[in-house]
């Protein structure tokens, strides 16, 4: 019997190394006792004696899944991963078998960990703890993750808050970033952190973005689960906002401005069409877009959704148009299609934060059905009017490569309206001469009813995203 203890830090590398050695030595799952770091003394626990390394082959898709699932809180995770890897050696097709119970469980674990990482990025709230005259500002946050997500998520905070010192304290492990260096320490009990002036800002911000006419308590609780409320300053405002929402929504309806007659919108659109290109400053783009009346879609949408990302991004990702969630939050690709994109992009090694993400059409087009708003594809005229903004974004960002997701994006960028399935995977030229890699839209993958077709299309989409990465990193030509 082999007994393998995996430490709480460097968990992925430790598990991968142990699994490789055991697999190469032909040790079956039932002869291994896996354990995680339990008590404090095990935090940096040493490896037990292991067989020598040997050559094994592991599908990339397994590695991508395992390096996320390994941070799950299930104590059986190491054993489950190894048992599946063992089976995979004899049946390489298993990674595509959607009916396989073990794979489904590991996929669910992977999803839970990603969700927990997302919550950590969204709900960590720093409080200032440093002396006012210290050379670097210093912050601390208390957080209680459901899974072991501190280590795999710490890089996100390093990228975002690299110019200050900070520590994220949790009962599991803590991340400490000081003087530009990241280290991990043991978990600890909840400390008393001082109140901070920025908390009042959070509450004000939250009160301002809260739309009483769109109150959906269940959706709100699933986005911001109650377990995080106690560490979120803005959560204190929720009961009052919920209670006062009906009255505020009624007052908003009574105060609604009268809209101009419909024929004015088409006159405005024609007028706007006579001007050739938007040439304002980069920082003025979102405000100019918010005032857009080039086509009638602005009338029913909550807001225009501008692109987001670095203005010097080498990659511009173009979707179709905002969906329900994007319309409410004002950010592109954050709903189900966006989440699908994020997952596959992560698998393909494409870092979304480094890309500029936008849509061909900036307002949500829908038809109401009961309480739901059903997506409608924008027509050629709407795509054409909105090209004004897409061209402005292309001119500002000047990406090395554009990723056109779906027929609407491909049409807006290239002017060609042929079917997307025959074009995907190819490089075409935009009207301005930039290289555009044509691919499927992630919502197409979500809609495919047939599991096999969906798996195949997903693989094609992933391959296209990998190709984009290869082009950007100089391994393939655009
Ligand atoms: N679909 C898109 O094309 N873009 C979004 O932002 C959301 C869904």
Residue 202's pLDDT is what? 64
Ligand 1 centre distance from Cα of residue 358 (Å): 8
CB 440 within 8 A of CB 461: yes
Residue 265's pLDDT is what? 65
- For residue 268, what pLDDT band results from cuts at 50, 70 and 90? low
CA distances from 140 to 165, 193, 217, 377, 454 (A): 9, 8, 30, 46, 44
pLDDT tens digits along 422-469: 999 999 999 999 999 999 999 999 999 999 999 999 999 999 999 999
Is any atom of ligand 1 closer than 6 Å to the C-beta of 443?
yes
Closest atom of ligand 1 to CA, residue 357 = 6
> Is residue 40 scored above 50 in pLDDT?
no
Mean pLDDT of 179-187: 92
CA distance 67 to 472: 24
Mean pLDDT of 174-202: 83
Q: Backbone phi, then psi, for 401, in 5-degree steps?
A: -140, 145
Judged by average pLDDT, the poorest of 164-168, 241-245, 314-318, 333-337 is 241-245
Ligand 1 centre distance from Cα of residue 321 (Å): 5
CA distance 96 to 99: 9
Ligand 1 centre distance from Cα of residue 230 (Å): 32
Residue 403's pLDDT is what? 98
| CATH code at 282-472 | 3.40.470.10
Is any atom of ligand 1 closer than 6 Å to the C-beta of 307?
no
Average pLDDT, rounded, for the chain? 89
Q: Where in the chain is the domain with CATH 3.40.470.10?
A: 282-472
Is any atom of ligand 1 closer than 6 Å to the C-beta of 442?
no
Mean pLDDT of 169-184: 94
Closest atom of ligand 1 to CA, residue 333 = 6
Is any atom of ligand 1 closer than 6 Å to the C-beta of 306?
no
Which letter does DSSP use for residue 54 in this model?
-
> Is residue 45 scored above 50 in pLDDT?
no
- For residue 44, what pLDDT band results from cuts at 50, 70 and 90? very low
Ligand 1 centre distance from Cα of residue 404 (Å): 12
Q: Using a pLDDT cut of 90, give the percent of the chain over it.
A: 66
Mean pLDDT of 163-176: 93
Ligand 1 centre distance from Cα of residue 441 (Å): 9
Which letter does DSSP use for residue 281 in this model?
-
The helix or strand, by DSSP H or E, that contains position 301, with its residue range, turns out to be: none
Ligand 1 centre distance from Cα of residue 375 (Å): 10
Q: Which of the listed residues 322, 352, 363, 444 should we mutate to test ligand 1's pocket, taking the one with most ligand atoms within 8 A of CB?
A: 322
Q: Tell me the pTM.
A: 0.49
CA distances from 468 to 337, 472, 478 (A): 19, 6, 9
Q: Where are the alpha helices (DSSP H) in 135-261?
A: 150-160, 197-209, 217-223, 238-254
Mean pLDDT of 154-178: 93
Is any atom of ligand 1 closer than 6 Å to the C-beta of 359?
yes
- In DSSP notation, 306-357 reads --BS-TT-SEEEEES---HHHHHHS-SS-SHHHHHHHHHHHHHT--GGGSEE
Is any atom of ligand 1 closer than 6 Å to the C-beta of 339?
no
pLDDT tens digits along 150-160: 999 999 999 98
- For residue 274, what pLDDT band results from cuts at 50, 70 and 90? low
Closest CA to 35 of 71, 74, 78: 78
Residue 68's pLDDT is what? 97
Residue 201's pLDDT is what? 65
Is any atom of ligand 1 closer than 6 Å to the C-beta of 378?
no
Residue 42's pLDDT is what? 45
β-pairing verdict for 127-128 and 138-142: antiparallel
Mean pLDDT of 201-228: 74
């Amino acid at each position: 019997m082999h007994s393998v203890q995996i430490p709480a830090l460097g968990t992925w590398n430790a598990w991968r190394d142990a699994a490789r050695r055991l697999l190469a030595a032909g040790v079956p799952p039932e002869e291994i006792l896996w354990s995680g770091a339990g008590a404090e003394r095990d935090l940096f626990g040493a490896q037990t004696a292991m067989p020598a390394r040997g050559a094994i082959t592991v599908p990339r898709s397994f590695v991508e899944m395992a390096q996320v699932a390994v941070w799950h809180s299930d104590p059986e995770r190491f054993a489950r991963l190894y048992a599946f890897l063992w089976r995979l050696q004899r049946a390489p097709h298993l990674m595509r078998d959607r009916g396989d119970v073990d794979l489904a469980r590991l996929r669910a674990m992977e999803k839970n960990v990603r969700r927990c990482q997302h919550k950590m990025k969204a709900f960590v709230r720093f409080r200032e703890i440093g002396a006012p005259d210290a050379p670097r500002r210093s912050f601390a946050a208390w957080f209680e993750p459901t899974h072991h997500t501190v280590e795999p998520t710490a890089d996100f905070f390093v990228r975002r808050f690299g110019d200050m010192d900070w520590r994220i304290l949790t009962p599991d492990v803590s991340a400490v970033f000081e003087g530009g260096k990241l280290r991990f320490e043991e978990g600890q009990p909840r400390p008393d952190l001082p109140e901070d002036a920025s908390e009042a800002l959070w509450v004000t911000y939250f009160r301002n973005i809260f739309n009483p006419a769109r109150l959906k308590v269940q959706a709100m609780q699933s986005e911001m689960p109650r377990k995080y409320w106690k560490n979120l300053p803005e959560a204190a405002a929720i009961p009052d906002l919920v209670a006062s929402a009906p009255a505020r929504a009624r007052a908003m309806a009574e105060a609604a401005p009268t809209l101009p007659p419909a024929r004015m919108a088409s006159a405005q659109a024609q007028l706007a069409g006579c001007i050739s290109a938007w040439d304002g400053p980069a920082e003025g783009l979102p405000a100019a877009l918010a005032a857009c009346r080039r086509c009638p879609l602005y009338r029913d949408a909550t807001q225009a959704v501008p692109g987001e990302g670095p203005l010097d991004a080498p990659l511009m990702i173009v979707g179709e148009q905002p969906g329900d969630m994007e319309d409410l939050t004002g950010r592109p690709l954050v709903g189900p299609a966006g989440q699908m994109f994020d997952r596959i992009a992560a698998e393909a090694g494409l870092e979304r934060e480094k890309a500029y993400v936008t849509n061909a059409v900036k307002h949500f087009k829908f038809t109401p059905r009961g309480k739901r708003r059903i997506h409608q594809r924008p027509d050629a005229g709407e795509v054409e009017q909105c090209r004004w903004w897409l061209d402005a974004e292309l001119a500002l960002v000047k990406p090395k490569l554009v990723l056109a997701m779906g027929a609407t994006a491909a049409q807006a960028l290239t002017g060609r309206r042929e079917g997307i399935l025959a074009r995907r995977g190819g490089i075409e030229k935009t009207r301005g001469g930039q290289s555009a890699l044509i691919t499927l839209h992630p919502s197409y993958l979500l809609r495919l009813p047939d599991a096999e077709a969906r798996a195949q299309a997903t693989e094609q989409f992933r391959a296209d995203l990998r190709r984009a990465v290869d082009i950007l990193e100089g391994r393939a030509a655009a």
